[in-house]
């Protein structure tokens, strides 16, 4: 396919097969970054017969290019903030900009917790092999923030699994996790969406449907 996925579902199925090829002992938990990571996470959870949950993290984009992450904030007590100092310097994102954007993104995290989880407590991370998935990585800032928060929850093992990412980003993340799984590492990487034929914005309804589908899998005896 020349490195291009049909859509997130197809990418998730391919990623799930790669993950299934390496058996993992103990309790598994798949965590997806909303919203684009949910179709990926559902495919992985189905293949591994593992529970699926959300990792509520929000990217803070550059002032002139919202898709370029300069920082990221993760839900928690207290919330975890990770700043990409190099990208901030290049884009002019100063401390005041970061702080204002952080407040806005925390409001969105609170909204998503209410809409998606509907009062349900997060699944237990401690002691589990946690597979963190998204539809791709660019700078990796959002994922690094997620991993920083997850380490505080004491998982047994941390795995990052994505369909596509640049090699340098994966190399940086390798020091943060126990395993990195990635299907495509393009030599020339511009944006995640360039590697998908269909890269539509995932609506809230699709996120909720994926979580409900995953809950049915585990209720039926998986995970």
Question: pLDDT tens for residues 158-206?
Answer: 999 999 999 999 999 999 999 999 999 998 888 899 999 999 999 999 9
Whether pLDDT at 221 is above 70: no
Whether pLDDT at 121 is above 90: no
Distances (CA, A) of 153 to 25, 93, 94, 215: 19, 30, 30, 22
More confident residue, 178 or 221: 178
Contacts of 138 (CB under 8 A, 6+ apart): 67, 68, 69, 165, 166, 169, 189, 191, 192
The tens digit of pLDDT for each residue in 209-220 reads: 999 998 887 665
Which H or E run includes 52? strand 52-54
Average pLDDT of the segment spanning 73-87:
85
Distances (CA, A) of 109 to 6, 79, 104, 112, 116: 29, 10, 9, 5, 10
CA atoms of 59 and 68, how far apart (whole Å): 9
**Minimum mean pLDDT range among 3-7, 17-21, 43-47, 130-134:** 3-7
The whole-number pLDDT of residue 190 equals 83
Confidence of residue 128 (pLDDT cuts 50, 70, 90): very high
More confident residue, 113 or 31: 31
Cα–Cα–Cα angle for 61, 65, 71, rounded to 5 degrees: 20
Nearest in space to 87 (alpha carbons), one of 144, 46, 2: 144
Q: Say what percent of the chain tops pLDDT 70.
A: 96
The DSSP line for 128-175 is SEEEEE-S--SS-HHHHHHHHHHHTT--SEEEEEEEE--HHHHHHHHT
Mean pLDDT value across the chain: 90
The whole-number pLDDT of residue 187 equals 87
Confidence of residue 222 (pLDDT cuts 50, 70, 90): very low
According to DSSP, the β-strands at 80-83 and 129-133 are unpaired
Whether pLDDT at 23 is above 90: no
Phi-psi region at 159: left, alpha or beta (left = phi > 0; alpha = psi -120 to 50): beta
Instruction: Look up the pTM and report it.
Output: 0.86
Whether pLDDT at 223 is above 50: no
67: tokens are 């898709």
The tens digit of pLDDT for each residue in 148-160 reads: 889 888 999 999 9
């Amino acid at each position: 396919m020349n490195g291009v996925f049909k859509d997130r579902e197809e990418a998730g199925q391919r990623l799930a097969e790669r993950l299934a090829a390496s058996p993992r002992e103990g309790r598994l938990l798949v965590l997806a970054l909303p919203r684009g990571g949910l179709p990926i996470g559902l495919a992985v959870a189905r293949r591994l017969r593992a529970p699926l949950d959300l990792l509520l993290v929000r990217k803070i984009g550059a002032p002139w290019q919202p898709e370029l992450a300069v920082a990221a904030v993760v839900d928690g007590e207290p919330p975890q903030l990770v700043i990409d100092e190099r990208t901030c310097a290049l884009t002019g994102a100063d401390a005041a900009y970061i702080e204002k954007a952080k407040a806005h993104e925390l409001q969105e995290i609170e909204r998503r917790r209410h809409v998606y989880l509907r009062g349900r407590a997060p699944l237990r991370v401690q002691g589990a092999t946690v597979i963190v998935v998204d539809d791709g990585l660019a700078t990796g800032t959002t994922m690094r923030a997620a991993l920083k928060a997850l380490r505080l929850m004491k998982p047994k093992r941390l795995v990052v699994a994505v369909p596509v990412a640049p090699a340098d980003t994966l190399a940086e993340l390798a020091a943060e996790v126990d395993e990195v799984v990635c299907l495509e590492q393009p030599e020339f990487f511009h944006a995640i969406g360039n590697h998908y034929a269909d890269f539509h914005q995932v609506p809230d309804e699709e996120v909720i449907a994926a979580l409900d589908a995953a809950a049915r899998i585990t209720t039926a005896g998986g995970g």
